[in-house]
């Protein structure tokens, strides 16, 4: 994918004004703007405006009021969700946006995505920003994901207010039904033509950006698309990390799996902050980033102003860096990414498995990539076919385990060597002692059945516990973590030779047990 602004231009574009959060508590809202040291400021219009926490929290208060008046939540398909869509749409139309409600026929109650596009800029060079607008049923979802939705809305309003010269088209999205399996964003992607999909040069996702025990995470942090987000945090002296917890758990996965470069910002969900992170960022070690994750207490009182302010200003920095200013920015260097799906497989002796190997052109033009695999122990054959692809293409890693291989875990490394770089991805091969146990007399999952917390079902050869209310949310597929947990751990079973495409994702949370029968 072609990114027309180089990293040098990105840095120049944000050097004029850098919003710096000076508050130290979760309730403080003070923000000031400082001038960065260095050469003369770029031409007017290239610097991102300051986005204030007060403005963002005004939208959050509206989302809270909407939930309070509609059963306490903004669940997809509910009156609270529909009212949230109406609120955002009214703000955007008043600001001059072209706004479309896209009914999602595969979403809960056919809830709608909301898409808004700002006129100007190259329509074949689209930068998208998005956040899911739905909450779980347990509460109003102020952090998950009122924070991301409000932040994206305020940046969209700031773009309209300043009305700068655009080099790219900017499109904003508020997704339906993320909590039931990324349904809104998947539906949007599935309805794009090849030309429409190709025109989207990058997607930035913002999900849970105001966690009280915040971490500072960037999706795909080493990619060119993430550079402007990271440059903002670097400039204010805040260290960032790769968003490992959020992989495949939010709407950026829909775009990445479609071959579209993606990044974004998150402050953390239910995972626990490490001691090293607490020393680096403050907060409490061995405590969840968001103590009210998927709970009734996820109200506006659960919002931390400091990470919220930083995230929305990083968001604005990215928009102005990639889409505002000089109409003839230089191209970025050619680059590509490499991923595997699934990233682990359990095979009984005498069995076999296949793993999908995918490449994506992340910037510049496509390039030839040579593929190879290493690390296979004696008795295990592993090969990638085809052995060479053009970035954007896919291959298959085939693994066969002889009957004599001892049980154990063996790391395999897939290497892609291109003209500009070398990328690697790891597949963890576990040779088991035999196929897993069955699920006894537990009833099989059905798409039409309504499930409540505590219900148990069998599916894909596993026993699953319901952790939330759902209908049609299939256990064991990406996104099902929100409502199902595997009673025996994050593992699913497929038969040798079965399609593994439904478990797509570089870091799928599921171990794939491949039966040798």
The answer to whether residues 479 and 249 touch, using CB atoms and an 8 Å cutoff, is: yes
- A 10 A CB-CB count for 429 gives 23
Q: Would you state the structure tokens that stand for residue 60, as one six-digit string?
A: 């959050």
248 backbone φψ class: left, alpha, beta (φ>0; ψ -120 to 50): left
Angstrom CA distances, 327 to 93, 121, 277, stand at 27, 9, 40
The answer to whether residues 355 and 341 touch, using CB atoms and an 8 Å cutoff, is: yes
Helix ranges restricted to H, 137-226: 148-162, 183-190, 194-199
Rounded CA separation 374/399 (Å):
12
The percent helix, strand, coil of the chain (3-state, each to 5) is 25, 30, 45
* Contacts with 500 (C-beta within 8 Å, 6 or more apart), sequence order: 341, 342, 354, 355, 356, 494, 512
Rounded CA separation 120/324 (Å):
10
Strand partners, 118: 170
Told to judge if 178 belongs to the known catalytic residues of this protein, a careful annotator would answer yes
Longest Cα–Cα distance of the chain, Å, equals 73
Rounded CA separation 292/467 (Å):
15
| Of 315, 300, 376, 216, the residue nearest 14 (C-alpha) | 315
Query: Which residue is catalytic, options 50, 89, 117, 178?
Result: 178
Residue listed under structure tokens 């059945």: 449
Rounded CA separation 357/347 (Å):
18
Question: Which of the residues are catalytic?
Answer: 178
């Amino acid at each position: 994918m072609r990114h027309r602004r180089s990293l040098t231009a990105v840095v120049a574009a944000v050097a004029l004004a850098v919003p710096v959060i000076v508050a130290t508590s979760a309730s403080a809202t003070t923000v000031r703007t400082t001038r960065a040291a260095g050469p003369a400021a770029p031409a007017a219009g290239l610097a991102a405006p300051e986005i204030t926490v007060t403005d963002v929290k005004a939208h959050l208060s509206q989302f809270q009021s909407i939930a309070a008046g509609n059963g306490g939540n903004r669940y997809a398909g509910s009156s609270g969700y529909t009212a949230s869509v109406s609120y955002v749409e009214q703000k955007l139309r008043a600001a001059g946006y072209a706004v479309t409600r896209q009914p999602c026929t595969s979403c809960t109650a056919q809830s709608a995505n909301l898409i808004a596009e700002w006129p100007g800029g190259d329509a074949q060079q689209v930068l998208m920003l998005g956040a899911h607008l739905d909450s779980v049923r347990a509460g109003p979802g102020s952090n998950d994901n009122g924070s991301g939705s409000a932040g994206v809305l305020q940046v969209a309003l700031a773009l309209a207010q300043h009305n700068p010269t655009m080099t790219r088209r900017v499109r904003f999205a508020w997704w339906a039904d993320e909590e039931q399996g990324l349904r809104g964003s998947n539906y949007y992607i599935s309805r794009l033509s090849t030309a429409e999909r190709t025109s989207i040069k990058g997607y930035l996702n913002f999900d849970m950006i105001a966690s009280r025990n915040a971490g500072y995470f960037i999706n795909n942090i080493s990619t060119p698309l993430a550079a402007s987000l990271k440059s903002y945090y670097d400039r204010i002296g805040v260290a960032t990390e790769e968003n490992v917890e959020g992989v495949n758990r939010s709407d950026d996965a829909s775009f990445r799996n479609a071959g579209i470069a993606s990044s974004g910002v998150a402050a953390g969900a239910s995972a626990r902050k490490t001691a090293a992170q607490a020393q680096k960022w403050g907060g409490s070690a061995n405590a969840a980033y968001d103590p009210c994750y998927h709970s009734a207490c996820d109200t506006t009182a659960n919002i931390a102003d400091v990470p919220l302010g930083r995230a929305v200003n990083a968001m604005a920095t990215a928009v102005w860096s990639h889409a505002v200013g000089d109409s003839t920015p230089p191209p970025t260097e050619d680059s590509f990414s490499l991923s595997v799906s699934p990233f682990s497989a359990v095979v009984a002796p005498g069995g076999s498995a296949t793993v999908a190997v995918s490449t994506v052109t992340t910037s510049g033009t496509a390039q030839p990539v040579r593929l190879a695999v290493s690390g296979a122990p004696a008795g295990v054959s592993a090969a990638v076919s085809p052995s060479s692809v053009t970035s954007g293409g896919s291959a298959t890693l085939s693994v066969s385990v002889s009957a004599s291989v001892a049980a154990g875990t063996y790391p395999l490394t897939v290497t892609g060597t291109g003209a500009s770089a070398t990328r690697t991805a790891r597949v963890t091969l576990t040779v088991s002692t035999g196929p897993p146990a069955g699920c006894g007399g537990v009833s099989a999952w059905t798409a039409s059945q309504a499930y409540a917390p505590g219900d148990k079902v069998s599916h894909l050869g596993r026993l699953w516990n319901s952790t939330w209310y759902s209908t049609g949310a299939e256990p064991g597929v990406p996104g099902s973590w929100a409502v199902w947990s595997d009673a025996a751990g994050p593992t699913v079973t497929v038969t040798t030779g079965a399609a593994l495409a439904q478990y797509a994702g570089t870091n799928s949370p599921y171990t794939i047990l491949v039966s040798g029968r």
